[in-house]
Amino acid sequence: MVKKYTTRTPTSTMVMETLSTTTKLEGSADINDIVRQGGLGIITSSATYDAASLVDGATTTTTLTVTGAVLGDFCMHSLGVSSAGMTVSSYVSAADTMTVVLQNESGGTVDLASTTLSGAVFPKKFLFGT
């Protein structure tokens, strides 16, 4: 069975589906209302992160514990500061572990301020049913 969530704003409608029953959110519902209802199965984590100073071309990695994450799940990340010309990527590297990679491609040395690193994992089973 497919579970549908519909949100409405004054100018748009968003529909999201998961495997379950049909539910409709009315009024000013947003993605947070859907997540709070467990509709998407999103798993989140955050931690304070102070990346090392990186010269141009250098790379560093860190991990976040995201309980419930498994290999093959999709993930997203967010830094609380500008990435200042760095490429930032993330992936689930092991059970319950999200790895975040920063690569300096700015042309100079970058030393990011200490910040909050947040991660969200979207379980493949909720997106594709497998």
- pLDDT tens string 1-29: 444 444 444 443 344 443 333 334 344 44
Handedness of CA 55, 57, 58, 59 (dihedral sign): positive
Residues 6+ away with beta carbon under 8 Å from 12: none
- Quote the CA–CA distance of 130 and 124 in Å, as a whole number: 7
Query: Start-end ranges of CATH 2.70.40 in the chain?
Result: 43-128
Residues 6+ away with beta carbon under 8 Å from 61: 99, 100, 101, 102
pLDDT for res 128: 76
Query: Which CATH architecture is the domain 43-128 placed in?
Result: Distorted Sandwich (2.70)
pLDDT for res 23: 38
Stated pTM of the model: 0.69
Taking only the tens place, the pLDDT of each residue in 56-115 is 999 999 999 999 999 999 999 999 999 999 999 999 999 999 999 999 999 999 999 999
